[in-house]
Structure 1
Amino acid sequence: DSEGWQIDSRVQQAMGDVLVIDKPTFGSCLLADHVAELAEQEELEITLCGLCTDICVVSNALLLKAHLPETKIRVAANCCAGVTPESHAAALKTMQMCQIEMVYTVQNAFGRKE
C-alpha cells in the first residue's frame, strides 16, 4: 500500500472548502449520485482532470455521462496523463465518442472564451 492515491495536502489546502469524495476504486458511483442530486437543483457544467486518464478519469467521465446524459461534461486533456501515451490517447478518444468534450487550455476547461 502506498499513499500515492491521496490528494496532496497543498492541493487540498488550495482548493479550500470543497467536498472530497474518497472513491473505493477507479470509478465512483457515489460521485455520480452526488452530482446528479446537484443537477436537480441547478444546471451544471462539469470539467474533469486527473490521473490516470485511462483508468480513473475515463471511468468517472462515463459514469457521470450515464447519470447526466444532457449535462455538458468536459475533460481538460492536457491536465491528465495516462499509464502510457497510447492509452491516454485511447481514453480521450473513447470519451469523445461518448459526447464528452476535450479541452486543452485552462480557459476552455472552465468555460471561458480565449
Structure 2
Amino acid sequence: MRRLLIVVDMQKDFINGSLGTPEAVSIVSKVKRKIEEYQEAGDEVIFTLDTHKEDYLDSQEGKMLPVVHCIKGTAGWELEESLKEFPGKYFEKNTFGSAALGAYVKEREYKSIELVGLCTDICVISNALLVKAFLPETPVLVDSSCCAGVTLRSHENALEAMKMCQIQVL
C-alpha cells in the first residue's frame, strides 16, 4: 500500500505574493525535498490549488478576507516555480477544504496520508480534518516544518487543534 502526500496551496500569492510571508518562503525547499522523497519511493503526490474568480471580493471569503489572491490564470495562482516540475494530480478548490479531494481519497487505500503547505491555520487544517473524516482509520500526518500559517501563533494553534483530532503532527 502506498503513502499519499498532499501539498496544500504552495502558490505564489501565498509565498511571496499578496498574502506571502517570510515563513512561507522558508518552507519551499523543505516541501520540495518532501515531494522528492515521496516520488522517489513511488508514493502518490497530490497538489491543491486555491482558485478564485475575478469576482472574489464579492464572495463571502472575499468580504471576510478582502485581499485579492489566487485568481485563476494569474501569476499568483500558479504553483511556486521550483515545484512546477513535479508530476501529480491537481485539485482546484474555491474554498478552504476540497470536497473533491475527500471523495478521491475515500475511494482509495493508503498506508498513511501526510499534508504539507499553506496556510496551516486555514487550508492545511481544513483538508487534514476533511481527509480524516473520509478515512478515519488511516493515519493522517502533518509535517509542521513544511507548513506555515498566517501568523506563528495561529500556526501553533492549528497544530494543537489537529493533535486533538488525532492527526499526527511531526
Relative to the length of structure 2, the TM-score reads 0.54
Structure 1 residue 88 and structure 2 residue 155: aligned? yes
Sequence identity percentage: 48
User: Which residue identity does 1:11 align to in structure 2?
Assistant: L
Partner of 2:111: 44
Where do 5+ consecutive residues of structure 1 fail to align? 104-114
Equivalent position to 1:70, from 109, 112, 137: 137
Q: What do you get for the CA RMSD once the two structures are aligned?
A: 1.4
Partner of 1:53: 120
How far is the alpha carbon of 1:38 from its aligned partner? Answer: 1.5
How far is the alpha carbon of 1:20 from its aligned partner? Answer: 1.0
Larger Rg: 2
How far is the alpha carbon of 1:8 from its aligned partner? Answer: 2.1
- C-alpha deviations, 1:59-95, integer Å up to 9, x for none? 0000000111000110010110100111000000000
Structure 1 residue 7 and structure 2 residue 79: aligned? yes
RCO comparison, higher one (Cα < 8 Å, 6+): 2
Structure 1 residue 28 and structure 2 residue 98: aligned? yes
Equivalent position SS for 2:76? coil
User: Which residue identity does 1:22 align to in structure 2?
Assistant: E
- 1 CA distance for matches of 2:76 and 2:162? 25
Equivalent position SS for 2:113? strand
- 2 CA distance for matches of 1:65 and 1:100? 8
Partner of 2:164: 97
Where do 5+ consecutive residues of structure 2 fail to align? 1-67, 70-74
User: Which residue identity does 1:35 align to in structure 2?
Assistant: V
Equivalent position SS for 2:160? helix
- 1 CA distance for matches of 2:92 and 2:82? 17
Partner of 1:110: none
